[in-house]
Amino acid sequence: MIDTLHAVQTPEGVDLSLPVAGPLPRALAYWLDLLIQGTGLSAFQSALFAAGRSGFAIGLNLIVVFLSYWFYPVLFEVLARGQTPGKRIVGLRVVQENGTPVGWPSSLLRNFLLVADFLPIFYLAGITSMCLDSSFRRLGDLGAGTLVVHVEPAKPRARQAELTLFERPLPPAIALTLEEQGAVIAFAERAPLLSSARAEELAAIPASLTHGDEPRARLLAIAAWLLGHSA
């Protein structure tokens, strides 16, 4: 199944086109995560049962297996900007339908509804849902209001310049209203979802803030200052 674009208009009136991932790259990321989980659990179980299969060891193993199955994707999606290790390898990210980072409630719901996607057998409900939905959302995504999108690899040179500016948060050259501050912060939240060219184009619009080279990096640095990041 080919990938597609999901159109979003932000509250600031900016039109975004999110490159939504189709079933094939999502399936690859899912199996990579299963492999990573299985490898970690096998190593844990080998160490746990090295001294014998006591009742305590068996009980602890069941708890760890349960927590790993249900909360492995949730923790990574919320704490690692929407990317489990498998998704990071494939270049995917989970976001809200409006392009903002996924939160705890949405991540919990989309992953707990994975059970419904497996019904009645062999992930049939999930595959059917993705084939029928224009943005390839499975039942968990529809219930939680989330999308899985492609992430453009960061160019090392541009990324280094961006990190340098983030290490030195930049105060805005002019006073900003609360609405303007919100727009700058919203841009920073959505910047990872944009192509480099599109991000530079949008960042150059407020020329009084981002005059000079690297407008995207400058706007991100201003967002860091507004959010109170220390130099």
203-221: per-residue pLDDT in tens?
Answer: 888 888 887 778 888 888 8
All structural domains of the chain with their residue ranges: 4-150, 156-226
207 C-beta neighbours (distance < 10 Å), count? 10
Cα 150 to Cα 87: distance, rounded to the nearest angstrom: 9
In one letter, which amino acid is 125?
A
Place of tokens 């489990």: 84
Can you point out the beta strands (E) in 55-129? 92-96
Kindly report whether the global pTM for this prediction surpasses the value 0.85: no
41-79: per-residue pLDDT in tens?
Answer: 999 999 999 988 899 999 999 999 999 999 999 999 999
Cα 84 to Cα 122: distance, rounded to the nearest angstrom: 22
The pLDDT assigned to 160 comes to 47
Picking from 112, 110, 118, the residue whose alpha carbon sits closest to that of residue 137 is 110
Cα 65 to Cα 37: distance, rounded to the nearest angstrom: 9
- Whether the Cβ atoms of residue 85 and residue 36 lie closer than 8 Å to each other: yes
Tell me the average pLDDT across 123-141. Answer: 94
Place of tokens 């299963």: 34
Structure token pair of residue 63: 């708890």
